[in-house]
Amino acid sequence: MQGSLFDAEENKPHVATEAVSAADDLAALSETSRECRKCRLADTRRNFVFGEGNPSAKLFVIGEAPGAEEDATGRPFVGRSGQLLDKILLAVNFERRDVFIGNIIKCRPPENRNPLEDEIECCMPWLLGQLRIIKPKIILLLGKVAANTILDNRLSMGAMRGKMIRWKEFDCFVTYHPAALLRNPGWKRGCWEDVQLMRRHYDNIVPAGISHDKSTDR
């Protein structure tokens, strides 16, 4: 009995140290990457948008690229799309502080056009760095561009939704981008089913309470 108590105590600082280390590493990555000028989008951006949330999140939410409001504020998923994303997450009991939210590319493409292949190629190392530090278990991919890019396919949304897809060491789920839901409210039911499926998987593989580690905004 005494041994198990000691084990439990020894585990606490270990978990806390990991969270602090992830926060420090993420801060360092943020500092380095915000100076990036590897592609043409550096010339037109107002703000670099690193992403924000829990540095030890077990769920990483990935969209396509910053829009006008993200570019203006330097924060991911703000404005109407962001508010809808917050509602979608809350519907399955996640707050922003539980998860990490970012995009495939960190600077806004002019007129919100899709990111070009060479821009994605230049920017992916920053996202891969975030994934290496945060070590999520699950990735929620928002929209076709994010899903096709990460999963390296050209499949339709219909072919990717409704199931778990393994990519590297991550369990990925695909649903609609909130901006698409604002244009097509009829898709909200499908999104609800997608995030419920993702939440059930999260509850199966992530020990309860682990998502409420130290949270930080970048």
Q: At what angle do helices 2-33 and 117-134 cross, to 10 degrees?
A: 150
Phi, psi of 44 (to 5 degrees): -110, -10
Instruction: Name residue 98's amino acid.
Output: D
Per-residue binding string, ligand SF4, 42-71, x by CB under 6 A, is x-----x-----------------------
Contact in structure between 76 and 51 (CB atoms under 8 Å): yes
Return the residues of window 154-183 that contact ligand SF4 according to CB under 6 A: none
Under the binding rule (CB under 6 A), the answer on residue 114 touching ligand SF4 is no
- State how beta strands 138-142 and 170-175 pair: parallel
- 66 vs 202, beta carbon nearer ligand SF4: 66
Q: Is 151 in the site for ligand SF4 (CB under 6 A)?
A: no
Largest Cα–Cα distance in the chain? 63
Window contacting ligand SF4 (CB under 6 A); options: 8-16, 20-28, 35-43, 77-85: 35-43
Residue 99 makes contact with ligand SF4 by CB under 6 A = no
- C-alpha distances in Å from residue 116, one per residue of 119, 135, 206: 5, 27, 35
User: How far, in Å, CA of 147 to CA of 144, rounded?
Assistant: 5
Q: How far is the CB of 75 from ligand SF4 (least distance, A)?
A: 15
Query: Using CB under 6 A, which of 26, 122, 160, 195 touches ligand SF4?
Result: 122
Residues that bind ligand SF4 (CB under 6 A): 33, 36-39, 41-42, 48, 105-107, 119, 122-123, 126
